[in-house]
Structure 1
């Protein structure tokens, strides 16, 4: 029974650390782009400069749209 007095505080500390790490990950935008790694295998990295510029423009527009939808 005395082991409970040790295990409960240890469990509370572990849960508190996990919650802090989770909120740190959310605030530092760790979950913003979950699809990029999955799609990276499907596309070539050797895009022309024009295609890269177009892709960056589309990405910027999409981010602005998401930002305005959140307001």
Structure 2
């Protein structure tokens, strides 16, 4: 039971850090373009050339 005195505050602190990190990503626009990364795979890069030996 004495270990709960240390584990509960540590769990609350880690949960608070995770929540703060999530809100930080929301404010910085990480979730603005959810479909862009999926469509970017289909765009061909014209700069890349494949040279055959």
Please classify the TM superposition score into its range, dividing by the shorter chain length. Answer: 0.7 to 0.9
2:6 matches 1:6? yes
Q: Which runs of 4+ in 1 moved over 6 A?
A: none
Which residue in the other structure is 1:28 paired with? 28
Residue ranges of structure 1 left out of the alignment (5+ in a row) = 47-71
User: Alpha-carbon deviation of 1:16?
Assistant: 0.5
For these two proteins, the number of residue pairs brought into alignment is 46
Cα RMSD, aligned residues only = 1.1
| Superposed displacement of residue 3, structure 1 | 0.4
Determine which structure has greater relative contact order: mean sequence separation of CA pairs < 8 Å that are 6+ residues apart, divided by chain length: 2
| Whole-Å separation in 2 of the counterparts to 1:27 and 1:33 | 14
> What is the match of residue 41 of structure 2?
41
TM-score between the two structures when normalised by the length of structure 2 = 0.77
Query: Could you tell me how far apart the structure 2 residues matched to 1:10 and 1:41 are?
Result: 41
